[in-house]
A = this chain, B = another copy of it.
Amino acid sequence: MLAVRFKALADPNRLRILSIVSSSPEAETCVCDLSEPLKLGQPTVSHHLKILVEAGLLNREKRGVWAYYSLVPGALDSLAATLVSKG
């Protein structure tokens, strides 16, 4: 549902996660890179990441012990397109 994706964006910390992920080298980030700049505990960061993944905005790839998150290509653009078409 469309509202689910907007709900995923409706939190300042999750918007910041998207910014950090997209601007990081290789455009991917692990949980450990997020906990400190967000000033949130590790379980909370995991929780936000899960919401973004389930909304189809982030990909999760596990390599070894680490989990790397990256933007789903085109996801934000298609969401933006639904906004423009409404106006």
Chain A residues proximal to chain B, CB less than 8 Å: 1-3, 6-7, 9-12, 15, 18-19, 22, 71, 73-77, 79-81, 83-84, 86-87
Contact = CB atoms under 8 A, between A and B. Distances in A.
A26 to B, nearest CB: 15
A71 B87 contact: yes
A85 to B, nearest CB: 9
Interface centre among A75, A80, A81 (most CB of B within 10 A): A80
Contacts of A1: 12
A6 B3 contact: no
Contacts of A9: 3, 6, 10, 83
Lowest 10 A-B CB distances belong to which pairs? A80-B80, A7-B10, A6-B9, A80-B83, A76-B87, A10-B10, A6-B10, A3-B12, A76-B83, A80-B84
